[in-house]
Amino acid sequence: MKRLLVATLLSPTLAWAADALYFDDFSQPSRAALQADGWVLRDGKGFPGVPAAQWWVEGITLRDDPAAPGNRLLALAAETDGSGGSTRQAQLCHQRHYLDGTYAVRIHFTDQPVSGPNGDEVVQTFYTLGAWGEPFYSEFDHEYLPNGGWGHVGPTLTLNKWESRPFPPGGEPIAVSGKVAGSFAGWHTLVLHARAGELRFFVDGKPAVTHTRNGQPPVLMSMNFNLWFVADHLAPSRAPRRWEQEVDWVLHVADQWWSTEQVSRHVAEWRKAGQRRLDTMKPKPPVPPSLCEL
């Protein structure tokens, strides 16, 4: 019945394009509505970022899109004056419902704070995550570093995979890194294909990085965003500054691998039909909790 209902709501040409998907264009009126749709807003303290920093729910807002009347945007904000105790970082996470398929997002990166001096090593992200510390673990990262960091000089988009498996005994998590150097300030469409042990990252429709070693997620993953400062790499200024990143929409299509053009076409059709959010995911129980702690 749920599948039939979704099919009748979509345009005829796209009604049966995917059997299981999640789409959210962040048109919710409030944080409470965002939470009601399954998003977890992080608070408290903890890794990653500046050790004494606070993860603040108030740093997550929904706003009107000045470039597109009637559209709404998700916004994350991080603030600091260079001291750990005054630093605020933002993170939100969706449910752990996702495995192989297409992950896609339209996201706005920035190369400078919206106010205050530049110079902090800051991380702007879209990523997928299993639970850290489980025997099987996966993490697929899009991390934009406008001021470099982690050995990168200058603005860099890193496209990474982390995983751990219970063999060999005592084995360490495996990290495989890729990058695209240069500024990515502005709006971009990021697409990731997770399929049969292979990850393929695309940026604005162009192939960027491919990881072929154990790219298949072994456990259900969440889709997440965060904005945070690299520990011990805040700019020396004590002047307050505020960084922001924005998200237009996010999408997962289970067990299908859509091109960037297909993704953009489907999103446009859904919006034209008035579909602001779709959820036909069918994760097999037991579904693990979404903790939003990393």
**Per the omega criterion (within 30 degrees of 0), is the bond before 285 cis?**
no
| CA distances, 250 to each of 2, 51, 107 (Å) | 21, 29, 9
Residues 100, 139, 286, 55, CA torsion sign:
negative
| CA distances, 229 to each of 125, 132, 235 (Å) | 12, 20, 10
Distance CA 56, CA 42 (A): 7
Which of 29, 84, 99, 88 shows the shortest CA–CA distance to 58?
88
- List the pLDDT tens digit at each of the 294 positions of the chain: 333 334 333 433 343 356 899 999 999 999 999 999 999 999 999 999 999 999 999 999 999 999 999 999 999 999 999 999 999 999 999 999 999 999 999 999 999 999 999 999 999 999 999 877 677 778 899 999 999 999 999 999 999 998 776 655 555 667 788 999 999 999 999 999 998 778 999 999 999 999 986 656 678 899 999 999 999 999 999 999 999 999 999 999 999 999 999 999 999 999 999 999 999 998 878 888 888 988
The domain defined by 18-279 folds into Jelly Rolls (2.60.120)
Tally of CB atoms within 10 A around 268: 11
